[in-house]
A and B are shown apart, each in its own frame.
Chain A
Amino acid sequence: MAASTLLFVASILLSSFALSCYASGTFSALQKSILLTSSPKSGQVLKAGEANITVTWSFNKTYPAGTDSAYKTVKVKLCYAPISQKDRGWRKTKDELKKDRTCQHKIVKRDYKPETDSVTWTVERDIPTATYFVRAYVYNAEEKEVAYGQSTNDGKKTNLFEVEAITGRHVSLDIASVCFSVFSIVSLAGFFYLEKRKGAASQQK
């Protein structure tokens, strides 16, 4: 029985190594051939649910013509700046694109046009409080990333802006919370008092 358990464990270990072997795209292999600007000024604080961001992007003509022949779709995303990734492994930047968690919020998906394109987007109410920049990924026909452009520099230090999220709290929730809490305490106290009185009364009889 020990031998079969060992065999079972060994085969599981081997297959787990095998599965991690296939290659996937990396960020460093992408061409930075998109020029992108976003409307928020450096350090500006935007309120979620209210403020707008206008993103404008176009193909960088300094690249040789024909570079964008494979470009099919563009996804513009809101990405976390390094300061908002600190101590938060779920937002970590990784070169392997499949595992990269820098850009978690989609702004828009469009077909690729070599001319200038833009979008005005209202910051949604589920965007958390953090510091951000904007990045656009370009995909080919196989849905693989081939190029990108971003509103900040390579070190992700310039032109960052902040979003102030909604708290999610509501006055009605707070009131309901207080009501149920009071009900709980009062009913407990009430029961206790009534039973003590019944006990005292039955002892007097």
Chain B
Amino acid sequence: MGDIEGSPGSSMHGVTGREPVLAFSVASPIVPTDPTAKFDLPVDSEHKAKVFKLFSFANPHMRTFHLSWISFFTCFVSTFAAAPLVPIIRDNLNLTKGDVGNAGVASVSGSIFSRLVMGAVCDLLGPRYGCAFVIMLTAPTVFCMSFVADASGYIAVRFMIGFSLATFVTCQYWMSTMFNGKIIGTVNGTAAGWGNMGGGATQLIMPLLYDLIQRFGATPFTAWRIAFFIPGWLHVIMGILVLTLGQDLPDGNLGALQKKGDVSKDKFSKVFWYAVTNYRTWIFVLLYGYSMGVELSTDNVIAEYFFDRFDLKLQTAGIIAATFGMANLLARPFGGYASDVAARRFGMRGRLWTLWILQTLGGVFCILLGRSNSLPIAVTMMIIFSVGAQAACGATFGIIPFISRRSLGIISGMTGAGGNFGSGLTQLLFFTSSQISTAMGLTYMGIMIVACTMPVTLVHFPQWGSMFLPPSRDVVKGSEEHYYVSEWTEDEKQQGMHQGSVKFAENSRSERGRRVASAPTPPDATPNHA
């Protein structure tokens, strides 16, 4: 029983469906500690840490956490580094609004592809090399900004730098090799949120660097190019740190260890099939495009917007833009926490309502941001918008683990790609044409957020219900087992491949909310000691 090593989706292995999104440790009776292991933190039988000790750098678990999220943070810094400097770059390169918009689209498009490839790379080379490869091979693209002389060069370089966001996948994958499944939700959520903060930090860092370099005597059109060297150096430094200080697994590196476990892997075509034929997958791909996607779009346009609309200095516009992205520090974990709190009482229905409320609120305040004519009001609207959108991201990943057990990895990957796709689409529609001012663009984006969040009302789980419909009263169809085991064919069930799903189904009964105690056991559920 249990996981098949290396199978697609096994990077999220251990996720049982019962862990809350915000757990910092798991106690011994639930997961036994391995007493023979000599690590700084208590570990389980696979030597994965059972405790998430945030301010420790102990090798290998916490050190991996910090290397991983800082690498991801660095890539966010370089991907959005151009955004706060656009007022200078657009004059230097004689860009039109269309050029600026297209570059924004390009910056988020590259990673759609690179994230999909990165999963395979992690399986083959390990997350340590996956991370190091991406971060060190995109360092030259960051340095390339010093060569850029026109619009097409600018768009091409931003596209290539965007590939570096594949470090999201290495980050999540690496965390799942180091931390026990019961706390992986918190670990991954924190790593993702703190990485995303890079999009905010860069709005602060780049104008400051630009100002500093100008004080040393450089002209504006040279100073911004020199400023790009700093993110480039960060790439190289983090790459070297990852290679020298990091390791793939708690016991060592991938190449040096023998692979344990079953040879039989789950077939990619099957896993893919169950992901794409589940309509909920597509609804969440769309939804994430309007929570994470709008966060990325806003990272690209907000500094320039404040600079132009309210006549601010570059650094001031940068500080305001930074508060948008930095809200991730707390907003994203808050979304996950809110989802958990709602689930305790109302189960999955509570999670769906929480997501809908947070994301719609984000959309409403985005509309208000576009319509704000004074600076203090605009900043207030922006902050509430950022909390809504980022909390919605956290709440989304409170639901995703329940859509499918077999195809969880692919669904997570597709959702992530949907985020970037939504960002590219939104920037293309509303921030590239000169017919639409940026203020109107923000308003339209807010309207689109509200509209594209409506489909969450259609997500229905037979065993738990949906936003407006109660769960099915059919004893068989309304059971968690029926939902999760239906992803396996009879042949596969005979081979026992579905056992992990059965265990997951059992653990997921908490999604009934307060009704758990009264849940009848379905008569023909496969007993898990068979």
Cross-chain contact B225 with A165 (CB below 8 angstroms): no
Binds A, one of B42-50, B85-93, B171-179: B85-93
Q: Are A126 and B225 in contact (CB under 8 A)?
A: no
Binds B, one of A57-65, A150-158, A195-203: A195-203
Which residues on B sit within 8 Å (CB–CB) of A128?
91-92, 94
B136 partner, pick from A20, A166, A177, A188, beta carbons under 8 A:
A188
Could you tell me which residues of chain A, from 178 to 198, have a CB within 8 Å of some CB in chain B?
Answer: 178, 180-181, 183-185, 187-188, 191-192, 195-196
Question: Which A residues are CB-close (under 8 A) to B278?
Answer: none
**In the complex the two chains form, what is the Cα distance from A13 to B233 in whole Å?**
45
**Shortest distance from the beta carbon of B79 to any chain A beta carbon, whole Å:** 17
Choose, from A27-35, A37-45, A86-94, A137-145, the stretch at the interface.
Answer: A86-94
> Given known contacts A176-B229, A180-B236, A188-B132, is B94 in contact with A129 (CB within 8 Å)?
yes
| List of A residues within 8 angstroms of B144 by Cβ | 177, 181
A119 within 8 A of B: no
A74 to B91, CA, bound (A): 26
A59–B373 Cα distance when bound, in Å, is 38
User: Is B137 interfacial (CB-CB < 8 Å)?
Assistant: yes
Query: B96 touching A173 by the CB < 8 A rule?
Result: no
Q: Which of B87, B133, B219, B373 contacts A90 (CB 8 A)?
A: B87
Q: Binary interface profile of B, 59-98, with partner A (CB < 8 Å = 1, else 0)? A: 0000000000000000000000000000100111010111
B434 at the interface (CB under 8 A from A): yes
Say whether, besides A125-B219, A128-B92, A168-B219, A185 and B136 are in contact (CB < 8 Å): yes
Q: Among A170, A181, A184, which residue has the most Cβ atoms of chain B within 10 A?
A: A184
| B308: chain A residues within 8 A (beta carbon) | 89-90
Q: Are B373 and A177 in contact (CB under 8 A)?
A: no
A130 close to B (CB within 8 Å) = yes
**CB-CB < 8 A to A7: which residues of B?**
none
B406 in the interface, Cβ–Cβ < 8 Å?
Answer: no
> Given contacts A9-B368, A184-B140, A188-B239, is CB(A169)–CB(B146) below 8 Å?
yes
Q: A181, B143: Cβ atoms under 8 Å?
A: yes
Q: B397 within 8 Å of A by Cβ?
A: no
Known: A16-B374, A89-B434, A168-B222. A184 touches B94 (CB 8 A): no
Q: Is A15 an interface position by the 8 A CB rule?
A: yes
CB distance from A88 to the nearest CB of B (A): 6
CA distance in complex: A174, B236 (Å): 18
Contact status B221-A168, CB under 8 Å: yes
Chain A positions near chain B (C-beta within 8 angstroms):
9, 12-13, 15-17, 19-20, 86-90, 125-126, 128-130, 165-170, 173-174, 176-178, 180-181, 183-185, 187-188, 191-192, 195-196, 199, 202
17 contacts between A and B (CB under 8 A): A16-B371, A16-B373, A16-B377, A87-B98, A88-B90, A88-B97, A89-B438, A128-B91, A128-B92, A165-B94, A167-B221, A177-B143, A180-B236, A181-B140, A183-B236, A187-B240, A188-B133
